[in-house]
Amino acid sequence: MAQIVKRAFKYRFYPTPGQAEELARTFGCVRLVYNKALQERTRAYTLQGRKVSYVESSAALTEWKRTDDLGFLAEVSSVPLQQALRHLQAGFANFFAKRAKYPTFKSRKKSRASAEYTRSAFRWHDGALTLAKMDGPLDIVWSRPLPEGAQPSTVTVSKDAAGRWFVSILCQDSIGSLDPTENAVGVDAGITALVTLSTGEKIANPRHERADRAKLARAQRALARKEKAPPTGPRQSSASPRCTPGSPTGGVISCTSSPLVSSVRTKRS
Query: Which residues constitute the domain of residue 114?
Result: 3-174
Given a cut of 80, is residue 269 above it in pLDDT?
Answer: no
pLDDT at residue 266 in the model: 44
Query: Span 74-88, mean pLDDT?
Result: 96
Highest mean pLDDT among 132-146, 185-199, 234-248, 253-267: 132-146
pLDDT at residue 36 in the model: 96
Q: Residue 62: inside a domain, yes or no?
A: yes
Given a cut of 80, is residue 249 above it in pLDDT?
Answer: no
Nearest-angstrom CA–CA distance, 6 and 18: 32
Query: Span 12-35, mean pLDDT?
Result: 96
8 Å CB contact between 159 and 113: yes
pLDDT at residue 169 in the model: 97
Given a cut of 60, is residue 263 above it in pLDDT?
Answer: no
**How many domains does the chain contain in total?**
1
Q: Residue 216: inside a domain, yes or no?
A: no
Per-residue pLDDT tens digits for 136-191: 999 999 999 998 888 999 999 999 999 999 999 999 988 888 888 888 899 998 87
Q: Residue 69: inside a domain, yes or no?
A: yes
Given a cut of 80, is residue 126 above it in pLDDT?
Answer: yes
Query: Span 32-38, mean pLDDT?
Result: 96
pLDDT band at 257 (very low <50, low <70, confident <90, very high): very low
Query: Span 92-99, mean pLDDT?
Result: 94
Q: Residue 24: inside a domain, yes or no?
A: yes
Q: Residue 180: inside a domain, yes or no?
A: no
pLDDT band at 235 (very low <50, low <70, confident <90, very high): low
User: Is 17 buried (19+), middle (13-18) or exposed (0-12) by CB count in 10 A?
Assistant: exposed
Given a cut of 50, is residue 252 above it in pLDDT?
Answer: no
**Taking all residues of the chain, what is their mean pLDDT, rounded to a whole number?**
86
Q: Residue 259: inside a domain, yes or no?
A: no
Query: Span 62-66, mean pLDDT?
Result: 95
Q: What percent of the chain has pLDDT over 90?
A: 61
Q: Residue 249: inside a domain, yes or no?
A: no
User: Is 96 buried (19+), middle (13-18) or exposed (0-12) by CB count in 10 A?
Assistant: exposed
Phi and psi dihedrals of 130, rounded to 5? Answer: -125, 125
Q: Residue 229: inside a domain, yes or no?
A: no
